[in-house]
Amino acid sequence: MGNRDGVEIGVTCYEESAGEGRQSRHTAIIVQLPQAHSPVRANPRRLRRTVSESVAVGLAALPAGAELVEIVDRQLRISFYGWPEAIDIDTRVDATVAVARALSGTAG
């Protein structure tokens, strides 16, 4: 856990079975939201159609490899393909924080 521009963030890495004995690697950026939100588990592209314009803009700006957006209570989690050594982690943290700020209605 850490803090980016006054926002509490965390990074986690995990593997999932990709079939035939292969594993796919993922990095998730987690941001603590100031208030609870309705639960969400969706692909970022599909989710853009159902959220406010400011949140949709943030989702559209997510870097390549964004695969899943989850919101549970006061936590936003955006998962990306790849591990930190293979992706620009700072860019993904900044993009996730931007989505969190849009969800919260605060400027960055």
Set out the domains of the chain in order of their start, with CATH numbers. Answer: 2-104 (3.30.1370)
Contact 33, 75 (CB under 8 A): yes
Predicted confidence (pLDDT) at residue 51 exceeds the cutoff of 60: yes
What is the SS3 assignment for 58? helix
pLDDT on residue 73: 94
Residue 26 one-letter amino acid: H
107: pLDDT confidence band, cut at 50, 70 and 90?
low
47: pLDDT confidence band, cut at 50, 70 and 90?
very high
Residues facing residue 11 across a β-bridge:
29
Residue 87 is classified by DSSP as S
Q: How many CB atoms lie within 10 A of CB 47?
A: 18
Predicted confidence (pLDDT) at residue 6 exceeds the cutoff of 90: no
The length of the chain is 108
Mean pLDDT of 15-40: 90
Mean of the per-residue pLDDT values for the chain? 91
Predicted confidence (pLDDT) at residue 16 exceeds the cutoff of 90: no
Mean pLDDT of 65-87: 92
13-27, 51-65, 87-101: least confident range: 13-27
Model confidence, pTM: 0.89
Predicted confidence (pLDDT) at residue 41 exceeds the cutoff of 60: yes
